[in-house]
Amino acid sequence: MRFDAFRRNKAFLSLAIAMIIVFAGVAYQSVFGESGAADLSSTQPLASSASSADTVSSVTYAPFGPTTIADIAERVSKSVVTIEAVPKTTQRTPTRQWPFVDDPILDPFFFFFGIDPYGRQNPEDYTTSSGTGFIFTEDGYILTNYHVVSGNRTIKVTLADGTEYEAQIVRSMQNPDVAVLKIEPGDKQLVPVKLGQSKNVRPGEWTIAIGNPLNLGITVTAGIVSATHRGDDPKARQMFGMSSVQVPPTGFIQTDAAINPGNSGGPLLNLNGEVIGINTAMAVDGQNVGFAIPIDAISDLLPRLMTKSRGGYLGVGVYTIDSEYASRLGVSAGAIVDVVYEGSPAAEAGLQRWDAIVRIGDDEIRTADDLVFTISSHQPGDEVEVVFVRDKTLKAVKVKLAEAPSQ
């Protein structure tokens, strides 16, 4: 009896264990799939949540997996180019301009005080600079930074497969720091990268930077968006060592993806492999603090950047109003006119020194950079309304813009 009971209990236990194993196997299969690894494609990103009330971003990203960044890098690298800007003017053998020839005592004295006994010009005028760019049309238009190609230089572009071209500068702008180049690909089929949107980018989202740091060749780094709208006020520019950088009105996208000299002009990508920014600057006193121009600051300008026109010209020199002077004028922000150039549209319209420009058309002007960006985004011949404060009185004039002088 006891043996029969034991056998019945054992059979029941075996059946229970078998059922548990089968159930666990089904559950495992439904979660992990046949390979035994987690199927990340079943995971829904936050941005595509079913509840519209909880949706913060309108961008839907592809599922993230172990090879996502590698796959994007492999695909987009075909659109990324390295750029060499070679000076057209070569430095002649210097002639000593001081009476002492190769004097070991006096030469250090001169150099200590910043005097070159040979009277040489700025060495940067004779130095080849390198940077990055990316193809955005099939017929060979390339985006990069203005500072990568500025000056009297021959521009050499190298594709990912090693093919080299001489590029022409179609148009460049100091603010935003952007230039459009053109190569003639002939029968070669180019692979353009897709331009995304930056308006919905949020801190914490993954980013990928592709560039040519230190002229090493195409390099991939990854990180996150650290902040948006960074550097759009003087305090932030000073804090991050960016006081000499032209900050777009929208500010920069800040990222901790490594950006180094040579990365300038390269794409900052989202997890769809779309360009959300142009890598432009890095903090000189920090690590992993890089900055990219939001692509939205460029996209609307592209039709004009792809023409030979140099953009609109107002003809004033300006600087950003400080808070003390702004309060005296009764404005919150603006650009103070420091000089009005003779014969310029501004002079013909009657603008004067110390006028505080606060608006161009529908665009609010809070900084000098805002004014430069807004005017240069217009075409020569465009008529714009310039709203300014003079003697605490708000005034407005119509100005017909001229063509900007060559840079």
The catalytic site residues sit at 147, 177, 264
Q: Which two tokens stand for residue 356?
A: 């505080």
- Any long-range contacts for 52-58 (C-beta under 8 Å, 24+ apart)? 56/202, 57/200, 57/201, 57/202, 58/200
- Work out the end-to-end distance of the chain between its first and last CA atoms, rounded to an integer number of angstroms: 105
Alpha-carbon dihedral sign for residues 303, 305, 306, 308: positive
Neighbour-count burial of 3, counting CB atoms closer than 10 A to its CB (0-12 exposed, 13-18 middle, 19+ buried): exposed
The full length of the chain comes to 407
Beta-bridge partner residues of 181 = 142, 169
CA-based nearest residue to 254, from 234, 277, 274: 277
Q: Which two tokens stand for residue 215?
A: 């002229």
* Element counts in the chain: helices (H) and strands (E): 10, 20
CA-based nearest residue to 138, from 191, 188, 186, 181: 191
Alpha-carbon dihedral sign for residues 32, 75, 221, 170: negative
Q: H-type helices in 84-221, by residue range?
A: 106-112, 146-149
Q: Please tell me whether residue 22 adopts helix, strand or coil conformation.
A: helix
CA-based nearest residue to 321, from 351, 275, 358, 284: 358
**Buried (b) or exposed (e) across 80-94, using 16+ Cβ within 10 A?**
bbbbbbebeeeeeee
CA 53 to CA 158: how far, in whole Å? 47
